[in-house]
Structure 1
Amino acid sequence: MNPIPELTSSLKQLRLSGILDTLEARNREAIDRKLAYTDFLTLLIQDEIARRDHRKLDARMRRANFRGQKTLEGFDFDRLPNLNRAVVHDLATCRFIDERVSVLIAGPCGTGKSHLAQALGHAAARQGHDVLFMTQTRLLSTLRNAQAVGSYERRFQALAKVPLLIIDDFGLKPMRTPEDEDFHDLIAERYERTSTVLTSNLDFTEWGDAFATNKMLGAATLDRLRHAAYRVVLDGESYRVPRPMPESNKSALAKGGKNKDS
């Protein structure tokens, strides 16, 4: 008598149907290795746990809104000889999330700030933390849109409670009222409760310039962000190098040539 149909029904009822994916292989393994029933059962349970962990990780990655697979393994440390790799790898342990402090990343355009921030986010997601990646512009737009449709408080609380919020391109566009107030309220709500990673093209001494109209509010916001924060400076040339022009185009330009439509 084939027990699989009845077993399939029972596993589905227990929400363990994923076991069927490896049941046949594990059964052959148990026969070949003469495993005890308890060892066979242990293998099946371990398979189910691994499947569930993988599904949870996939869900966290989707919610995080990362821009591609920006991992620490793919980060080009060789381009940044002054960067302390030991500090970065220590941050990748995500101890700063347990400490509930910020990580502030500054440097010129194209030095890998967004990549590094997302790499820390990937590490956090793999360790079971919920993460959300957004640019400053997107963050403030999300809050404005929520205000317009009457869901501001719900959206605000979701942003306030996520264990790791990554805000990219801080200060790229100066904040004016009420954006600066929303940003301050969010950082104040997250202060000493959750962790925030910020990236910026501005030097740390220039971060106050992100608050165009209310410098006092900006000082209060940055005071919370800086408290016990880890600072990382990426100092190097941009990796966004344009492709060289074809030789024929170079020659034409060198001779002052005009295009056909001129």
Structure 2
Amino acid sequence: MLNKTTINQLHDLHLSAMAAAFIEQQEQPGPDTLPFDERLALLVEAEWLAKRSKRINRLVTQAGFRFPAVIEDIDYQGKHGISKPDVQRLCEGSYLRNKQNILITGPTGVGKTYLVSAIGRAACYQGTPVTYIRVPDFFVQLSDAQMEGRFTLLRNRLATVPLLILDDWGLRKFTLEESHEIMELFERRYDAASTIISGQLPCSAWHGLFPDPTLADAILDRVVHNAHKFNISGDSMRKTLADRDPD
């Protein structure tokens, strides 16, 4: 009776994993052979792991990654400009703690989106909130938010999320209005949060994306100087996968 009451109370406290672990302990032969503190530690660990897993899953879902990418599945064969040790170092998260950026450039199909999604997921595993968004969608979302009266809310969320991933950067030149919006974004994120940018154009060509050279200097100063930069080259992943497909 006492055990049943304890289990019900754990459920009432939303400690379901601890309750399940407690039941498991009761079903094991000779649970009393373990000291009380060890048994308690096992119960607490079960609940902690369950809550951590739920938080990670929630962060991954909220991030909106384009691919369900993980670093273990990254294919480095035929790639130049970034290595497995590079990615492992990035996934340790020091760039997040130091509020630094990551810039990944390279031709279409080389695997940039998969790579930034995998790095972003690794950040989620460390408990870091992440937002993934394609640059064209960034401006569409801002426009929609302005019409719906939630422009400031969206602007603040994108400016303050600990890790923002901007994919498909530089598909076209930015307008002056877009340039000012980008300037506002990076002015607020500078030395306050990390941003990962992925695009086809090398960083040396980014200045030409902006119509105002002075504005371009100001934006790039806030983006590039404290960033880890990787220019990737190699075979197209899409071509490689197509060649492997017998159909």
- Whether the TM-score (by the shorter chain) exceeds 0.5 is yes
Q: 1:85 to 1:12 in 2, by over 3 A?
A: closer
Q: Secondary structure at the match of 1:104?
A: strand
The correspondence of residues 222-241 of structure 1 with structure 2, limited to 5 A, is 222-241=220-239
Computed over aligned residues only, the root mean square deviation of the Cα atoms, in angstroms, reads 2.1
Task: Report the equivalent of 2:86.
Answer: 87
Deviation (angstroms), 1:157: 0.9
Name the CA distance, whole Å, in 1 between partners of 2:152 and 2:29.
Answer: 55
Aligned residues: 244
> Which amino acid in 2 is paired with 1:95?
S
Deviation (angstroms), 1:81: 4.4
Q: 1:84 to 1:37 in 2, by over 3 A?
A: closer
Question: Which moved further from structure 2: 189-198 or 166-175?
Answer: 166-175
The correspondence of residues 205-220 of structure 1 with structure 2, limited to 5 A, is 205-211=204-210, 213-220=211-218
Task: Report the equivalent of 1:253.
Answer: none
Q: 5+ residue gaps in structure 1?
A: 245-262
Instruction: Tell me, yes or no, if the aligned pair for 2:7 and 2:19 is still in contact at 8 Å.
Output: yes
Deviation (angstroms), 1:4: 4.5
Deviation (angstroms), 1:29: 3.6
Instruction: Tell me, yes or no, if the aligned pair for 2:110 and 2:232 is still in contact at 8 Å.
Output: yes
Name the CA distance, whole Å, in 2 between partners of 1:234 and 1:10.
Answer: 55
> Which amino acid in 2 is paired with 1:6?
T
> Which amino acid in 1 is paired with 2:225?
H
Q: 5+ residue gaps in structure 2?
A: none
Q: TM-score, normalised to structure 2's length?
A: 0.91
> Which amino acid in 2 is paired with 1:168?
D
Instruction: Tell me, yes or no, if the aligned pair for 2:67 and 2:114 is still in contact at 8 Å.
Output: no
Name the CA distance, whole Å, in 2 between partners of 1:228 and 1:186.
Answer: 16
> Which amino acid in 2 is paired with 1:131?
V
Q: Secondary structure at the match of 2:197?
A: strand
Instruction: Tell me, yes or no, if the aligned pair for 1:172 and 1:210 is still in contact at 8 Å.
Output: no
The correspondence of residues 101-250 of structure 1 with structure 2, limited to 5 A, is 101-211=100-210, 213-241=211-239, 243=242
Larger Rg: 1
Instruction: Tell me, yes or no, if the aligned pair for 1:26 and 1:43 is still in contact at 8 Å.
Output: no
Deviation (angstroms), 1:183: 1.3
Name the CA distance, whole Å, in 1 between partners of 2:4 and 2:27.
Answer: 18
Name the CA distance, whole Å, in 1 between partners of 2:150 and 2:182.
Answer: 17
> Which amino acid in 2 is paired with 1:78?
Q
CA shift digits 1:158-200 (9 cap, x unpaired): 1111110000011113221322211110011100100000001
Q: Secondary structure at the match of 1:110?
A: coil
Q: Secondary structure at the match of 1:111?
A: coil
